[in-house]
Amino acid sequence: MKKTLCGIIPPLVTPLLDNKTLDIAGLERLIEHVIAGGVHGIFILGTTGEAQSLSFNLRADMIKETSKILNSRLPLLVGISDTSIDDSISLSQFAYESGADAVVSAPPYYFATGQPELVEFYENLIPQLELPVYLYNMPTHTKVSFAPSTIKRISQNEKVIGFKDSSANGAYFQSVTHEMRDRENFSIFVGPEEMMAEVVLLGASGGVNGGANIFPKLYVDLYNAAATQNILEVRRLQTKVMQICSTIYSVGSFGSSYLKGVKSSLSILGICNDFLAAPFNKFDKEHRMLIQNAIKNLDLK
Amino acid sequence: MKKTLCGIIPPLVTPLLDNKTLDIAGLERLIEHVIAGGVHGIFILGTTGEAQSLSFNLRADMIKETSKILNSRLPLLVGISDTSIDDSISLSQFAYESGADAVVSAPPYYFATGQPELVEFYENLIPQLELPVYLYNMPTHTKVSFAPSTIKRISQNEKVIGFKDSSANGAYFQSVTHEMRDRENFSIFVGPEEMMAEVVLLGASGGVNGGANIFPKLYVDLYNAAATQNILEVRRLQTKVMQICSTIYSVGSFGSSYLKGVKSSLSILGICNDFLAAPFNKFDKEHRMLIQNAIKNLDLK
Amino acid sequence: MKKTLCGIIPPLVTPLLDNKTLDIAGLERLIEHVIAGGVHGIFILGTTGEAQSLSFNLRADMIKETSKILNSRLPLLVGISDTSIDDSISLSQFAYESGADAVVSAPPYYFATGQPELVEFYENLIPQLELPVYLYNMPTHTKVSFAPSTIKRISQNEKVIGFKDSSANGAYFQSVTHEMRDRENFSIFVGPEEMMAEVVLLGASGGVNGGANIFPKLYVDLYNAAATQNILEVRRLQTKVMQICSTIYSVGSFGSSYLKGVKSSLSILGICNDFLAAPFNKFDKEHRMLIQNAIKNLDLK
Amino acid sequence: MKKTLCGIIPPLVTPLLDNKTLDIAGLERLIEHVIAGGVHGIFILGTTGEAQSLSFNLRADMIKETSKILNSRLPLLVGISDTSIDDSISLSQFAYESGADAVVSAPPYYFATGQPELVEFYENLIPQLELPVYLYNMPTHTKVSFAPSTIKRISQNEKVIGFKDSSANGAYFQSVTHEMRDRENFSIFVGPEEMMAEVVLLGASGGVNGGANIFPKLYVDLYNAAATQNILEVRRLQTKVMQICSTIYSVGSFGSSYLKGVKSSLSILGICNDFLAAPFNKFDKEHRMLIQNAIKNLDLK
């Protein structure tokens, strides 16, 4: 991680055979698939990776296997978010020993924390980590949003090298960008893919976009169009991304439609198993057929 | 309203002397100020206009006086959001008779409504209005967000000519844009000014941005830069807007800091009174001094 | 209002023929029905009364007609909650002139307020009212809950004679009760009927329970059982109330199932029209049949 | 667990020396303290036990040590709530092997679940547990509330022997009670101690009240007064409990004031260490002094 990371970093799904077992062959195909698509790094054990639904040991397995397959071809970011600071540190240590490049940390998510507690938590946690850290904002799931001033404060520690925002709040995203404008070598990524192009046009580092699991080249192309300020191409590709969001992620009206849709698509494309860890379940045949049609109707050339 | 509206439409503050009385001289200065800044229309009785805090009669006064001062120099949009459908219709009728060009309607905000109820409500309301309608999304205040499919459904009535989104949700904004992509002559505006440039770059119609009360030319310039895809200029002016957001709107930690900041700035600049309608209050001297310094530190040339 | 009010105060529905017209014959029957059931007062223009969905003029009509029919046979409480302080004062003045005994005020509900703003708002409002005041806590609808210390502070003005809590938060209710324990002549009522008996057992003043529109005697009997500490009878009658809640208020899964259920029941019993003001609608035939069956299955003797 | 559990079950704090180490001497004193106070069972690794802030291994330690100290003198309930179903099963297996009597499970809390997913989750989980199960409702922390019909559905499995509700929603509590009225041998406990007496008066099983860590006899006495329908004594003791809630749990305005207050009190009384696991911190000297005064001002005889 010598230089600042930018581009498309897929938040990798965790291919599973059941609640206890990785689909390792699927994981291999998935990693080769996203590398072939041109992505700029890989992020495992995030929300799209269902990290919280996996046992500690299964998370460790995922780190080990991904690192082995990836074999340093791309930067590897590892989610260590947990409600226990000790288990977070253990995961980070394991990631370090497995050859990961950085860790990604969202706040503890059982108890709601305030801003002073966030600052204290990270001032406690970060010195205990061997790897550089990205902060991860996911307020719907963690019950707290990093105030821009909190990010600035925590980032006085140079081990903090970036921020990923999955709040979908565009005003907030620009506020963080503004607050951090004088900090060098600090990456700011956006989670929701609907917003990726527009924030890159305004200077953001890139996207940690779930759709890049399925169609990595599309997201890389859209990122490149935005990074080179090719607005015409941005608008053309944005329509494709929006078609994905409004079809593949919106089948059924489950809270988990997005996760189901991503894994179902990967299964339909022959990449990996579509098993979802408890408390969720994969799509039934009828819903899977809707995903199949949605993919068929995409015209990605 | 022959052609589709686009550009900067300031959500005008309502200059007040007290809870019952308009500051009419201030209103005149304010309208001339924003016209001089090059704005493309005026929206009164929105959230920034504190419409809900004004009595029905005071809202009617505001419509009448604004229309008289504006004298058809720019399109006039009038907020008619109310919890009572009858009072909404009465306000709309009054706006029509006063020469307004369109009305703007957010859902009723005491009871929370579901999507089917939103559809029914607007299918009931719209035929009773003489003027074309903009839908107004303000979920933090109305407890409901228009689903993109709901907007499409309601907009089958051609009297619905646009949508204003103040959710600050960038993913949602793109979803609405995508859902409405085939509807001609439909404007989509964004409320939060932090997001205006980026959504215009992707094709949105413009911004209904509170800061355009104070610094109309800045917002018009930023809009023009985005509309002409001048990214370098967009980034330069975006920094000014973010400086405004992070200083003028953030003094104190009141829920009403934004409203206080806008009216305080207008008072400092000699444009209008800074009285806020109940349940809010204007800044005290100490906070006003902070606003004064924030304005002084802006470098808007 | 010489002595402290206690007992069952039905939050009267507003019988309507359409969005603009009272069902006055229905209103007469409804008032006679609840008086015959033994209720201790009447509260109009609350949430169950759909006050916010009615135009200002229709609310004034409701005050006038109710007062005329009631003819001072019971204490009359009038809801004046509005987003405009001026319209609240006008409603209160009208209630006073019509012979009402007290007003009931929930905080403004468009803008969210903080505790200091609540205090200021009421310190501004209350001196402008002729009638004594009950504070009304309805946080799901007003976006703010009165802190117990805020209630105590506002109630230093002796015109504040009581509090109604519709939060359904049992811990909060006891906190308010504890905070106000030394204030004499202060009534504390609970909104949700499921909780009425238990809070009266612990010393609360009574209930403002929607079901008392339909079955006033049941709620009066339950109140009396609790007030006389007849636990066996409390448990027997509580089961009846819970049967009402789990059937009549739970038909369909609308946000407005409760309102629809209450008005549908009153229509089935021949008391008043079941028209609901926009944005809601009355039950269709199929749902009405379910209410009819629910009523038939009650055994209220 | 032959017969249905009722009474006061303290949700035991987890005495800690630091984030990795139990205060075992403190744990011994605490257990003897609550036994001496007459409690009817012990619940470890709940929210008050900061379970989520502890590593998996530390949770296992807490189970082992508590079981050893308790030595079957009282029923031992063990919280197994986790975001990973596998780690929940492992904890339950460990609890079973350590001699616990039942487990307590709140829904997974990172992803929000819907009612059908709750049903599926528990239909998957429960057959994999050796011990009987209490469901634990904690919607502020888990983002979902068990619908009464969901509880009924899950409880068709007879291994489900009870329910603990920490929602503080009194209407909801009665709805669950009503829904489960025909199920024999099913306990329903309330979390918030402010509500314990009133729900026991209406028939609930008892309380899982944090204050019973500090003053076990008070809560047992209040429970007994309610269970024997001694209303005068209920009201007298309720005042003591409310004094605790309004002083000891309300020092500072931290989200964690309750946890800080409980552990601080236990430390002041010489029972155990007041270290709080990350992301929280114990009170500083100044706040601790306020707790000390609050305890001194209680008159518990």
Phi (first) and psi of residue A21, to 5 degrees: -130, 130
D136: closest CA among D146, D121, D127, D128?
A: D146
* Residues of chain C neighbouring D194 (CB-CB closer than 8 A): 170-171, 173-175
**Angle B263-B269-B271 from CA coordinates, rounded to 5°:** 70
Instruction: Look at residue C19 and tell me whether its pLDDT is greater than 70.
Output: yes
Minimum-distance CB partner of C201 among D175, D178, D231: D231
Which residue in D has a C-alpha nearest to residue C229's C-alpha? D231
What is chain A's pLDDT, residue by residue, as a tens digit (301 residues)?
446 899 999 999 999 999 999 999 999 999 999 999 999 999 999 999 999 999 999 999 999 999 999 999 999 999 999 999 999 999 999 999 999 999 999 999 999 999 999 999 999 999 999 999 999 999 999 999 999 999 999 999 999 999 999 999 999 999 999 999 999 999 999 999 999 999 999 999 999 999 999 999 999 999 999 999 999 999 999 999 999 999 999 998 778 999 999 999 999 999 999 999 999 999 999 999 999 999 999 988 6
Partner C contacted by B255 (CB < 8 A): yes
| Pair B101, B75: CB distance under 8 Å | yes
* Residues of chain D neighbouring C245 (CB-CB closer than 8 A): 171, 174-175, 178
* Residues of chain A neighbouring D109 (CB-CB closer than 8 A): 109-110
Q: Please, what sign has the CA dihedral across residues C91, C92, C93, C95?
A: positive
Minimum-distance CB partner of D202 among C179, C235, C245: C235
Which residue in A has a C-alpha nearest to residue B232's C-alpha? A202
Residue B3's pLDDT is: 63
Q: Please, what sign has the CA dihedral across residues D63, D65, D66, D71?
A: positive
Please list, in sequence order, all residues whose beta carbon lies within 8 angstroms of the beta carbon of residue A177, skipping any fewer than 6 positions away: A188, A199, A202, A203, A204, B242
Phi (first) and psi of residue A284, to 5 degrees: -80, 180
Residue B142's pLDDT is: 97
Answer yes or no: do A117 and D279 touch at CB < 8 A.
yes
Which residue in B has a C-alpha nearest to residue A170's C-alpha? B170
CA distance A164 to D7: 48
CA atoms within 13 A on the CB side of A284: 3
Partner D contacted by C147 (CB < 8 A): no
Please list, in sequence order, all residues whose beta carbon lies within 8 angstroms of the beta carbon of residue B32, skipping any fewer than 6 positions away: none
Which residue in B has a C-alpha nearest to residue C18's C-alpha? B86
* Residues of chain B neighbouring A243 (CB-CB closer than 8 A): 178
CA distance A175 to C241: 51
Query: Would you give the DSSP letter of residue A248?
Result: G
Q: Please, what sign has the CA dihedral across residues C198, C204, C208, C213?
A: positive
Calculate how close chain D gets to C95, using CA atoms only, in Å.
32
Average pLDDT of span D175-179: 98
Minimum-distance CB partner of A169 among B169, B177, B231: B169
Partner C contacted by B114 (CB < 8 A): yes
D259, with CB counted inside 10 A (0-12, 13-18, 19+), is buried
Q: Write down which chains contact chain B via at least 3 CB pairs under 8 A.
A: A, C
Minimum-distance CB partner of D178 among C197, C199, C246: C246
Partner A contacted by D87 (CB < 8 A): yes
Answer yes or no: do A52 and D84 touch at CB < 8 A.
yes
Instruction: Look at residue C2 and tell me whether its pLDDT is greater than 60.
Output: no
CA D210 to mean position of chain CA atoms: 7
C145: closest CA among C125, C123, C171?
A: C171
| Pair D180, D186: CB distance under 8 Å | yes
Phi (first) and psi of residue C129, to 5 degrees: -105, 140
Model pTM? Answer: 0.97
Q: Do chains C and A touch (3 or more CB pairs under 8 A)?
A: no
CA distance C154 to C186: 12
Q: 């634990």: which residue's tokens?
A: D136
Q: Write down which chains contact chain D via at least 3 CB pairs under 8 A.
A: A, C
Partner A contacted by B137 (CB < 8 A): no
Tokens of B135: 């839908």
Instruction: Look at residue B2 and tell me whether its pLDDT is greater than 80.
Output: no
Helix H, strand E, coil C: the string for D39-106 is CCCEEECCCCCCHHHCCHHHHHHHHHHHHHHHCCCCCEEEECCCCCHHHHHHHHHHHHHCCCCEEEEC
Phi (first) and psi of residue C134, to 5 degrees: -105, 135
Partner D contacted by C236 (CB < 8 A): no
Q: Do chains A and D touch (3 or more CB pairs under 8 A)?
A: yes
Give chain A's largest Cα–Cα span. 52
CA distance C9 to A190: 53
Answer yes or no: do C118 and B279 touch at CB < 8 A.
yes
Answer yes or no: do D169 and C172 touch at CB < 8 A.
no
**Which residues in chain B (2-41) have CB-CB distances under 8 A to chain C?**
19-20
* Residues of chain D neighbouring C137 (CB-CB closer than 8 A): none
* Residues of chain D neighbouring C199 (CB-CB closer than 8 A): 170, 198
Phi (first) and psi of residue D230, to 5 degrees: -90, 85
Render pLDDT for B107-159 as a digit per residue (tens, 0 to 9).
999 999 999 999 999 999 999 999 999 999 999 999 999 999 999 999 999 99
Partner A contacted by B129 (CB < 8 A): no
| Pair C157, C180: CB distance under 8 Å | no
CA atoms within 13 A on the CB side of D234: 26
CA distance A45 to A91: 11
D3, with CB counted inside 10 A (0-12, 13-18, 19+), is exposed
Compute the residue count for chain C: 301
